[in-house]
A and B are shown apart, each in its own frame.
Chain A
Amino acid sequence: SQQGEEDPQALSIQEGENATMNCSYKTSINNLQWYRQNSGRGLVHLILIRSNEREKHSGRLRVTLDTSKKSSSLLITASRAADTASYFCATDHTGANSKLTFGKGITLSVRP
């Protein structure tokens, strides 16, 4: 399976702290994407990083990509209670014909 693996599976932090989530994958990619899912809702796209990029920022989000290690990290700075959600990485693998492979997700809880 090409399914990515996120780490940790669950993360609990205090409001104001930073949250770091990791994703590893097995085969070469065109891009890697991070999504958020609030309870009972559909997934929402957060950020896309291409295989030739190493770092990308969007507001309080910072994503890094290391293609030599086949891994990515998502950093949420100054977390808020509203950041409580599940986070998924998704990979667009080379030759995958416009399909994304999603990981199993990370559950983030931000305590007020």
Chain B
Amino acid sequence: DAGITQSPRHKVTETGTPVTLRCHQTENHRYMYWYRQDPGHGLRLIHYSYGVKDTDKGEVSDGYSVSRSKTEDFLLTLESATSSQTSVYFCAISESYGVGIQEQYFGPGTRLTVT
């Protein structure tokens, strides 16, 4: 497996509380991504990063923020968790050589439940 870890792996939190998920890589890849996976929706991009301190929004970014202060760490924060953010969250990393993005390597996922 590519060197990607996510923490925590499971979390239960209450509505209105802030939550931070961490993704850590040891591959020195430039690109890092946060996805959420929900039944019937497949995988949807929340935010991604194309370098230290360089981030951009994905398809479902409302209610989420990210930060990348080091190449190896990409943090996803839910400022005030809502029940609609109950999901499985995946981090992924990738590189780009020439035209197009190469394969993505995924972390094991974080199962978040907001009660």
Report which A residues bind B (CB closer than 8 A).
1, 3, 30-31, 33, 35, 40-45, 48, 50, 88, 90, 92, 97-105
Cβ contact of A99, chosen from B99, B101, B105, cutoff 8 A: B101
Question: Which candidate, B37-45, B64-72, B73-81, is the interface stretch facing chain A?
Answer: B37-45
Contact of B48 among A88, A98, A101 (CB under 8 A): A98
Tally of contact residues, B, Cβ under 8 A: 29
A44 to B41, CA, bound (A): 18
Residue of A90, A98, A103, A104 most packed against chain B (CB within 10 A) = A98
A92-B90 in contact (CB<8A): no
CB distance from B58 to the nearest CB of A (A): 7
Do residues A42 and B108 form an inter-chain contact, with CB atoms below 8 A? Answer: yes
Chain A contacts for B48, CB-based, 8 A: 98-99
Q: Contacts A98-B94, A102-B43: A41 and B108 contacting too (C-beta < 8 A)? A: yes
User: B104–A100 contact, CB under 8 A?
Assistant: yes
Nearest B residue to A104 via CB reads B42
- Contact at B100–A99, with CB atoms within 8 Å? no
A41 to B88, CA, bound (A): 10
B108 to chain A, nearest CB (A): 5
How far, in angstroms, from A102 to B59 measured CA to CA in the complex?
11
Rounded to whole Å, the gap between the CB of A6 and the closest CB of chain B is: 9
CB of A42 within 8 A of CB of B99, answer no
Most chain A CB atoms below 10 A, which of B40, B43, B96, B106: B43
Q: Which of A3, A40, A44 contacts B106 (CB 8 A)?
A: A44
Contacts of A3 in B (CB 8 A): 42
Contact of A104 among B33, B40, B56, B103 (CB under 8 A): B40
Q: Which residues of A contact B56 (CB under 8 A)?
A: 97
Contact mask B44-59 → A, CB, 8 Å, 1/0? 1100101000001011
Q: A3-B42, A33-B104, A99-B45 are in contact. List 20 more A-B contacts (CB 8 A).
A: A1-B59, A31-B100, A40-B109, A42-B108, A43-B104, A48-B102, A88-B42, A92-B100, A97-B56, A98-B94, A98-B96, A99-B48, A100-B101, A101-B45, A102-B35, A102-B42, A102-B43, A102-B44, A104-B41, A105-B43
